[in-house]
Amino acid sequence: MAAVALVWWLLGPGTAVLLLLAAVLFSGWSMVRTRKR
């Protein structure tokens, strides 16, 4: 039952949250790289 709820959440707002989190991590990682350089 929990797995079904998790999949349903991922199909809904979960995907948007993951994409937003990935974008924030990527931007922060690139900022750290440019700062070190």
CA-nearest of 11, 36, 1 to 28 is 36
pTM for this predicted structure = 0.54
Amino acid symbol at 26: F
How far apart (Å, rounded) are the C-alpha atoms in residues 24 and 37?
20
- Residue 8 sits at the vertex; the CA angle it makes with 29 and 20, to the nearest 5 degrees, is 20
Q: pLDDT tens digit string along 20-31?
A: 999 999 999 999
* First-residue to last-residue Cα distance in the chain: 49
How far apart (Å, rounded) are the C-alpha atoms in residues 32 and 6?
33
**What band does 5 get if pLDDT is binned at 50, 70 and 90?**
confident
